[in-house]
Structure 1
Amino acid sequence: MTTGLRERKKAATRQSLHDAAVLLAAEHGVESLTVEAIADAATVSRRTFSNYFASKEQALLHHDRARTVRLVELIRARPARESLMMAVIGAAEQHCTEFAADPEQEERYRALRLHPALLPELVATYAAAERDLAVAVEERLPAGPDTPLRAQILAATLLAAFRVVGQTALERHERDVVDLLRQALTITREGFR
């Protein structure tokens, strides 16, 4: 699906605000970061900032939200004949390729994720991701009375596996996480047999 010029400009502005927030937080700390400073660094008004993000915390964690939204899109785009696990693996591999970041940027993200002031927004981001993923998972499951619950449990389990892979990759300074991801998903699948 191609996006129009307006959507691309909005995405570029959102990314610019996020990048400015991350850079300023890395340089000056999360506590001293202000919405005004982010807007100035991105050369937009405070009002424009507010059109994209409700808080500096949302701007800082935009990358996490964008990644989960994209993962859900990729799962939905997989062929219907694929099993849920194969769809998740295929989507996750493509996702890793698309979001391959430079080590310096990943180091900034690691430092930010550990900051206590961001914990409430990070929890909210993961909760939204879990809900979105559960809907995508449910679309691939056979209909039944326990399908919604099953989808929620599977989504939570998958996100936990992704979180562990991401944290492990950051700790080990690994740039290629596809093998680590395959290993985690295999462990997840086999762990419930």
Structure 2
Amino acid sequence: MTVEVGLRERKKAATRAALSAAANRLAVELGVEHVTVEAIAAAADVSPRTFHNYFSSREEAIVASIIDWAERLTDEIEARPADEPIWDSLQTVFLGALDDSPQARARMMAQMDMIMAHPNVIASQLAAFDTMRRRFAETIAARTGTDASRDLYPHLIAGAAGHSFKTALDLWATGKSERPLNDLVAEAFALVRAGLPQPGR
């Protein structure tokens, strides 16, 4: 029974990932306004009914990879040594998730352009980021002996880490910095951990 349940969950995760990847690719290639649920389902080789078992809208499917990525990161954070400082765990996991290849940069730029051109997708992205922050906060609370239902600490750490990573990623993806992505992320974490000291003139 356990094997069957595990196989079923893996198949569901694979279907969700296929739908999200198809939605994102079609949105970048065609523009969100030209993408339908039927087209996404066909690209993932499933029925529109199956699509609605996973997502309520095309916009939700387009940004679903953010939530799935956050789930993988939280699993990795939970697997870090229990006595490791939480910021060390976060930095190790975030840096380990980077892809700073030219191909990844081009994909990120195309995705950012697509998202910023459509308010509905921006709203879905913001909702996904909030889900990610809350999931991180729960994991951080478990690691630090705090309570995510009433303590500020895990939410502030989760928000600071997530925003630090996104800020470095945005700067890198838009081509406004020629520095390697891992350097930008490492510096962002270092600055936040230091309390954001004002740079010298």
Q: Give the TM-score of the pair, scaled to structure 1.
A: 0.86
Question: Against the structure 1 CA distance between its residues 101 and 136, is the aligned structure 2 distance closer, same or farther, given a 3 Å change threshold?
Answer: farther
Separation (CA, whole Å) in 1 of partners of 2:60 and 2:103:
20
Aligned Cα root-mean-square deviation (Å): 2.9
Farther off after superposition, 13-22 or 171-180: 171-180
The match for 2:98 is 96
Separation (CA, whole Å) in 1 of partners of 2:138 and 2:16:
25
1:46 to 34, 45, 48: 48
Q: Where in structure 2 are the equivalents of 1:1-193 lying within 5 Å?
A: 4-96=6-98, 102-115=104-117, 116-143=119-146, 148-172=151-175, 176-191=180-195
Runs of 4+ in 1 over 4 A off after TM superposition: 173-176
AA partner of residue 113 (structure 1): I
Q: Which string of whole-angstrom CA distances, capped at 9 and with x for unpartnered residues, describes residues 131-163 of structure 1?
A: 11111111222448x972111111111111111
Aligned residue pair count: 191
Structure 2 spans left out of the alignment, 5+ residues? none
Structure 1 spans left out of the alignment, 5+ residues? none
Q: Give the TM-score of the pair, scaled to structure 2.
A: 0.83
Question: Against the structure 1 CA distance between its residues 105 and 143, is the aligned structure 2 distance closer, same or farther, given a 3 Å change threshold?
Answer: closer
Q: Percent identity over the alignment?
A: 33
AA partner of residue 36 (structure 2): T
Contact 1:162–1:181 (Cα < 8 Å) also in 2 = yes
